[in-house]
Structure 1
């Protein structure tokens, strides 16, 4: 069997400059997903070249699980004191944040500085240091690789909290089954590699899927009380009603594309709105039916993504974040 040889590629051969080449590349959804996987944090782009104090952060993102800030600073050479100072300025300007410093090479001193910051700061601040590399085999396209060189002390424990929570004896049988079902659904989409990324499973009645714009998400739901499955576009921001109406004005074309009538819920007593499609008379707790339900979710999640992704991108008003969670109703 003939195997290829990995060959290191100079970063500057692909990204000539940080500001004009690497940062715009990383801001693209598929490439940001590579960083998300390395960090085990679901990232959603908020802004490029965002002012934070006297400096401009390369990328400002949201952690889709808790809506906290994730600030990314890029450096296409060896780390230096200037960029470390900028990171400290960013942290001082935010109440809670994850700070990500990406560089071609970390010095021992700067790696130690991030470790020290993770030791002395409160839990709502997290500092990551990553080295970026490019590799290829033969004449293949270069592939990026992010290596974590510094991370919060308890990060490995933190990312497994979802799994540990279902092992707690106080967790109900329903919550345990919710977790197991979402794990199956996430694995299904991970194996499909279709570009739709599901956040990590938790023991709750919904799970989140980023759709590329802050304040919007696709939420599959399991309603055991009313024996119902659902997929919804959930809009949760200060100007939800305005954005909802812009989509509602396209209702006829959206429903023609979807192939079904959708339930458009403006929710006048709430800040959030949603567009919903459901399957009734189901038993979400009956595991023998889960393959059927997983296939139903796969089909309808893909249809929601196809119908709404580009339309959301072209909405005329930018959402102002005001996040909460889908209800059981």
Structure 2
């Protein structure tokens, strides 16, 4: 008996994209716009995506998928191309981003040519931290006679470290501290499989808060630092659905029991939810303590 038959191994084979998705708009875009498939793409690029609409109008053109980032509302345009990249589609993604005021551009292709990889890399290097361009190849693979499975491979993406350095230029001392804190937080968060299984941490920013994307658009969880009062915090935030916010407020005792912190309810015109603060956590000049706060 040979080793192959002994271990009963199958053979991985690549499947032509057009065998599954004959038409780019009618088949692939329709498939990708489904929630589970957008989530698959989003997990690869590190952004939790929510569909706004497909074939969204931009002047006399239509962007394949118009979406947003959960929690932040950052607008995302996704252009699909089930063939090699070309100059026409490169122009389209830039036009669509401008027309929609998008901060994230995702170009999904069958194969990325070197000159277009370089173009996306150049765009990421020459735009500020508010913008990000992703070039992603999609593949289909099967094992033996199994159904083909999709796989997204990120070819080009924003260099967050470089953009963080750019962002730090011209910031106040306090803003620079916040950026450094959230950079440390993201590094630690991404090193914890038990954390990343549940949450997708945002890229670092100069804000006093960061959002935990947790798989739903109905609510989100935010983390806070207060550099003036020397405290850290967490918030359960519901943007629209008051029934969820009020349910959280009515059950604030459950949150308090789990966190060991007093709940501070809020019920504004649109948003509602709960905030919790941990005092005695000075941020400025106390970098050695940051990992403990983050944990």
TM-score scaled to structure 2, two decimals?
0.64
| 1:233-272 matches, cutoff 5 A | 233-234=236-237, 243=240, 245-251=242-248, 255=252, 258=255, 262-267=263-268
Q: Deviations over 1:92-141 (max 9, x none)?
A: 523455443322235678x389569959x987876654321234566697
Aligned partner of residue 75 in structure 1, secondary structure: strand
Q: Deviations over 1:209-257 (max 9, x none)?
A: 234566954211123543433211345xxxx5xx253434434675477
Partner of 1:51: 57
1:221 and 2:221 equivalent?
Answer: no
Q: Which has the higher strand share?
A: 2
Distance 2:166 2:71 in 1: 17
Aligned partner of residue 93 in structure 1, secondary structure: helix
Unaligned runs of 5+ in 1: 296-329
> In structure 2, do the counterparts of structure 1 residues 160 and 33 end up closer, same or farther at CA, with 3 Å as the change threshold?
farther
Q: Is the 8 A contact 1:132 1:144 kept in 2?
A: yes
Partner of 1:146: 153
Aligned partner of residue 183 in structure 1, secondary structure: helix
Unaligned runs of 5+ in 2: none
> In structure 2, do the counterparts of structure 1 residues 170 and 224 end up closer, same or farther at CA, with 3 Å as the change threshold?
closer
1:198 and 2:201 equivalent?
Answer: yes
Aligned partner of residue 14 in structure 2, secondary structure: strand
Partner of 2:233: 230
Partner of 1:61: 67
1:207 and 2:218 equivalent?
Answer: no
Equivalent position to 1:161, from 156, 159, 163? 163
TM-score scaled to structure 1, two decimals?
0.59
| 1:110-125 matches, cutoff 5 A | 111=116, 118=123
> In structure 2, do the counterparts of structure 1 residues 244 and 220 end up closer, same or farther at CA, with 3 Å as the change threshold?
same
Q: Deviations over 1:250-287 (max 9, x none)?
A: 3467547757584331346xxx7342242434435565
Aligned partner of residue 236 in structure 2, secondary structure: strand
> In structure 2, do the counterparts of structure 1 residues 267 and 183 end up closer, same or farther at CA, with 3 Å as the change threshold?
same
Q: Is the 8 A contact 2:242 2:272 kept in 1?
A: no
Aligned pairs, how many? 277
Q: Is the 8 A contact 1:199 1:209 kept in 2?
A: yes
Distance 1:164 1:116 in 2: 16
Distance 2:204 2:97 in 1: 29
Partner of 1:105: 111
Distance 2:134 2:245 in 1: 41
Distance 1:184 1:101 in 2: 27
Q: Is the 8 A contact 2:78 2:106 kept in 1?
A: yes
> In structure 2, do the counterparts of structure 1 residues 90 and 184 end up closer, same or farther at CA, with 3 Å as the change threshold?
closer
Aligned partner of residue 90 in structure 1, secondary structure: helix
